[in-house]
Amino acid sequence: MRKPTERSSPWLAASGCIASVLVALIVQASPTRLVDGLTIMPTWTLMAIFLWAGVRPQFMPPVAVFAIGLTQDLLTGAPMGVWALSYLVAISVFRFRGEDGMPRDLPPVLLRFGATLLLAHGIAFAAGSFALEQMADLQPLIIEIIASILMFPLPAYLVLRRRRSRGSGFIGG
């Protein structure tokens, strides 16, 4: 019988992590307004960071979180450092600690993500307002938060289901 650690290649998991973050970043910056009715997107990037930091913490060290935030700043045209700072602080504060990492039940994960989301957007609002030298627009932030809270249960459920089926603490490990 194969050990849990042998069930999936870490390279495969790393590829999945990079691919999911890249897709999240591109979707975040893509011209969604071309499609009728879709204007503001949820923060897919934060979802990807949060979930990977929960299931594979070694893939999401502070440098990676910072780099992802900075890439989002550059792709979206925001002042550099705004999302980098907010993701870095929010993930550092609310990441899952302990041997088991992210719990296998959905409600605590949703609760933790909600807190991460609020902190990240709060910091982004403050930092963005500072960079712009005027109050940033609060409405898109609020819509983003609501959209993210509505959308997050689906990827979170899929990730937790995969974790439970593997019986291992970490995806691919």
Partner 1 sequence: MASRRSTRQDAEHGVRFSRTLFIALLVVSGALIAFDRPASRSAPFAGFRATFTDVAAPLLDLAAQPLRGIKNIGPYWRRQGELAEENARLRQQLIEARYWEDLAYRQRDRIEVYEDALDVESAAIEDRIGAWTVADPRGPFVRARLIGRGSEAGIRDGYPVINLYGLVGRVYETGRRSARVLLLTDLNSRVPVMADRSNARAILVGDNSEFPRLDYVGRAPDIRPGDRIVSSGDDGILPRGLPVGEAVATRDGGWRVRLYSDQAPVDFVWVWPYERVTPPDQEVEPEQPPTLGTGDDAGTGIDEDVDDAPAGAADDTGGASATEEAP
In this chain, which of 49, 94, 117, 128 binds partner 1, going by CB under 8 A?
Answer: 128
- Is 170 one of the binding residues for partner 1 (CB under 8 A)? yes
x/- map, 149-168, partner 1, by CB under 8 A: --------------------
Of 11-19, 44-52, 68-76, 107-115, which part binds partner 1 (CB under 8 A)? Answer: 68-76
CA dihedral over 123, 125, 128, 134, signed as positive or negative: negative
Task: Examine residue 140 and tell whether it contacts partner 1 (CB under 8 A).
Answer: yes
Single out the residue of 62, 111, 115, 154 in contact with partner 1 (rule: CB under 8 A): 62
Measured distance CA(163)–CA(148) in Å, rounded: 22
Indicate the SS3 state at residue 77: coil
Cα angle at 46 between 143 and 15, to 5 degrees? Answer: 140
Q: If binding is defined by CB under 8 A, does position 146 make contact with partner 1? A: no
# residues near partner 1 by CB under 8 A = 60
> Please, what's the b/e burial string for 50-69 (b: 16 or more CB within 10 A of its CB; e: otherwise)?
bbbbbbbeebbeeebbbebb
Task: Check binding of 42 to partner 1 (CB under 8 A).
Answer: no
The burial class, CB within 10 Å (0-12 / 13-18 / 19+), for 103 is middle
Tokens 């045209």: give the residue: 77
Kindly state the smallest distance separating residue 44's Cβ from partner 1, in Å: 13
Residues interacting with partner 1, by CB under 8 A?
Answer: 26-37, 39-40, 57-58, 60-63, 66, 69-70, 74-82, 84-85, 88-89, 92, 97-99, 101, 124-125, 127-128, 130-134, 136-141, 144, 169-170, 173
